[in-house]
């Protein structure tokens, strides 16, 4: 015989469904894996189980109402969705939010970035067998969500950032809340290094797993921590600053290992950087106290001269009485602004920001009406998920979970 007959077991291919379930994906994802033994020879993702039709729904809502839809896409980073959308609407309108409103946006986004990375560590740790990581991660995230609730009124899906600015100014005790939060997080974040970073089991599960070099990232359009783990310091806050990020001092952490461990370490470092930005916000908020947080143009500003009632839910009775008593014209304007919304000049625009998962871009088309003609979102989770086969094929089936966790996709953004 010219060649030995191989073991028939070597030729056996097994196709398995991993899901539809929640393998570290913050949503419902189905993976179809072809295995030879425990080695993944082919992997593909099946999406659409969480489809909401948000982009299409926005065509039937006013420009302001669109905020309440986009905030529900990537539900772990709602304030980033709102900011990217509002920046696009403002670019079409040709207006710029007041400096204090931009400062509030930066503050809220960096708090949101910390909470998002904490969920990555909590769910990623849980899927790899570390229930303590889950407990710690959600404990700290609860602290962030509680702070966001005190600042905006809601824990998630805030709809607080509006075209032209933000819904209202921050409460009077904001500085005290931030000082207490920073002190608590500076004490808690080092615990993750103690719990995970130097832990041999954690390192063995992540080191050398999910390798995706720089050329692979660029070919697939991958951005965010996955791209920076391959050595490219691409962060839109630095390369294309928005909302006044050019006035803040912070570093963009990078690595060259391009594996799951590098992405974990990067996100831990990013939380420290975000905490530094929040710290810088305190002095800037003090310096801009009393300044407007919404554009002066009353044809755009919504809510219009809001005065929250005692229940914290709607306009106070005194405010409604004032509007109705001023003049019939002001009442008609208020009614039309609420029911019809404002008109946006015709045109199309693309605006992008740096979300916790990478470049989040919003493409809007206006025909001059009170609603978008077309809305499309360049969602980083959707684009980054394409890297899953490149990370997983050739590796063990157990490492697929670690690879997906390191991408940190949110299926609400993928399936929008």
Angle at 174 between CA 300 and CA 334, to 5 degrees: 20
Number of other CB atoms surrounding residue 157 within 10 Å: 18
Contact between residue 380 and residue 361 where contact means Cβ atoms under 8 Å apart: no
On the CB side of 135, CA atoms within 13 Å amount to 6
For residues 182 and 220, give the distance between their C-alpha atoms in angstroms, rounded to a whole number: 37
Which residues neighbour 115 within 8 Å (Cβ) at sequence distance 6 or greater? 76, 141, 144, 145, 148
Q: Cα 139 from chain centroid?
A: 19
Number of other CB atoms surrounding residue 335 within 10 Å: 11
Take residue 277 and report the two structure tokens written for it.
Answer: 């930005």
pLDDT of residue 265: 93
3-class DSSP state for residue 228? Answer: helix
For residues 247 and 259, give the distance between their C-alpha atoms in angstroms, rounded to a whole number: 32
Asked if the bond preceding 20 is cis, omega within 30° of 0, the reply is yes
The domain defined by 56-296+341-365 carries CATH number 3.40.50.300: no
| pLDDT string in tens for the chain (416-residue length) | 344 444 555 568 899 888 786 655 577 889 999 999 889 999 999 998 888 899 999 999 999 999 999 999 999 999 999 999 999 999 999 999 999 999 999 999 999 999 999 999 998 888 888 888 889 899 999 999 999 999 998 889 988 999 999 988 899 999 999 999 999 999 998 888 888 888 888 899 999 999 999 999 999 999 999 999 999 999 999 999 999 999 999 999 999 999 999 999 999 999 999 999 999 999 999 999 888 998 988 778 776 555 555 555 556 677 667 766 666 776 777 777 778 888 999 999 999 999 999 999 999 999 999 999 999 999 999 999 999 999 998 989 989 999 999 999 998 889 88
Which ranges in 308-410 belong to alpha helices (H)?
Answer: 317-326, 328-339, 380-384, 388-392, 397-407
Contact between residue 348 and residue 365 where contact means Cβ atoms under 8 Å apart: yes
For residues 346 and 209, give the distance between their C-alpha atoms in angstroms, rounded to a whole number: 48
Which residues neighbour 406 within 8 Å (Cβ) at sequence distance 6 or greater? 124, 206, 209, 210, 226, 259, 260, 263, 264, 391
Contact between residue 163 and residue 371 where contact means Cβ atoms under 8 Å apart: no
DSSP 197: I
pLDDT of residue 1: 37
pLDDT of residue 5: 47
| Nearest partner of 354 among 116, 187, 190, 180, judged by Cα | 116
| Nearest partner of 397 among 27, 26, 42, 122, judged by Cα | 42
Which residues neighbour 31 within 8 Å (Cβ) at sequence distance 6 or greater? 17, 18, 19, 23, 43, 44, 45, 46, 388, 400, 404
Q: Where in the chain is the domain with CATH 1.10.645.10?
A: 56-296+341-365
For residues 36 and 87, give the distance between their C-alpha atoms in angstroms, rounded to a whole number: 49
For residues 153 and 147, give the distance between their C-alpha atoms in angstroms, rounded to a whole number: 9
DSSP 187: H
Contact between residue 242 and residue 353 where contact means Cβ atoms under 8 Å apart: yes
For residues 106 and 277, give the distance between their C-alpha atoms in angstroms, rounded to a whole number: 8
Please tell me the pTM assigned to this model. 0.90
Q: Between the CA atoms of 141, 142, 143 and 147, what dihedral angle is there, to the nearest 10 degrees?
A: 100
pLDDT of residue 400: 92
Report the chain's terminal Cα–Cα distance, integer Å: 58
Phi first, then psi: give them for residue 189, nearest 5 degrees: -60, -40
């Amino acid at each position: 015989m010219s060649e030995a007959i191989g073991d028939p077991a070597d030729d056996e291919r097994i196709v398995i469904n991993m899901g539809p379930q929640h393998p570290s994906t913050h949503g419902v994802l189905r993976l179809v894996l072809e295995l030879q033994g425990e080695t993944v020879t082919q992997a593909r993702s099946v999406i659409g189980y969480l489809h909401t039709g948000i982009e299409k729904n926005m065509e039937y809502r006013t420009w302001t109402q669109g905020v309440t839809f986009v905030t529900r896409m990537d539900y772990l980073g709602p304030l980033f969705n709102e900011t990217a959308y509002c920046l696009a609407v403002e670019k079409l309108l040709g207006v710029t939010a007041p400096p204090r409103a931009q400062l509030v946006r930066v503050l809220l986004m960096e708090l949101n970035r910390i909470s998002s990375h904490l969920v990555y560590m909590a769910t990623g740790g849980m899927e790899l067998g570390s229930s303590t990581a889950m407990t710690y991660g959600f404990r700290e995230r609860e602290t962030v969500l509680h702070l966001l609730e005190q600042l905006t009124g809601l824990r998630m899906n805030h709809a607080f950032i509006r075209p032209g600015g933000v819904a209202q100014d921050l409460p009077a005790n904001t500085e005290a809340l931030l000082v207490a939060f920073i002190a608590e997080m500076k004490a808690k974040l080092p615990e993750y290094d103690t719990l995970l970073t130097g832990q041999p089991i954690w390192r063995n599960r992540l080191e050398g797993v999910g390798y995706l070099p720089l050329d692979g990232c660029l070919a697939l359009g991958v951005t965010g921590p996955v791209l920076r783990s391959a050595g490219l310091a691409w962060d839109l806050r630095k390369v294309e600053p928005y909302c006044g990020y050019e006035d803040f001092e912070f570093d963009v952490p990078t690595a060259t290992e391009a594996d799951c461990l590098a992405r974990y370490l990067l996100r831990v470092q990013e939380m420290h950087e975000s905490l530094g930005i929040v710290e810088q916000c305190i002095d800037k908020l003090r310096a801009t106290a009393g300044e407007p947080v919404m554009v002066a143009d009353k044809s755009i500003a919504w809510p219009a001269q809001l005065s929250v009632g005692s229940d914290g839910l709607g306009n106070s009775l005194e405010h409604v009485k004032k509007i109705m008593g001023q003049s019939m014209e002001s009442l008609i304007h208020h009614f039309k602004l609420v029911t019809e919304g404002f008109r946006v000049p015709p045109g199309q625009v693309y605006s992008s920001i740096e979300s916790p998962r990478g470049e989040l871009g919003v493409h809007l088309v206006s025909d001059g009406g009170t609603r978008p003609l077309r809305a499309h979102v360049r969602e980083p989770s959707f684009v980054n998920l394409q890297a899953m086969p490149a990370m997983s094929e050739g590796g063990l089936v157990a490492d697929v979970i670690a690879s997906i966790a390191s991408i940190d996709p949110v299926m609400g953004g993928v399936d929008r």
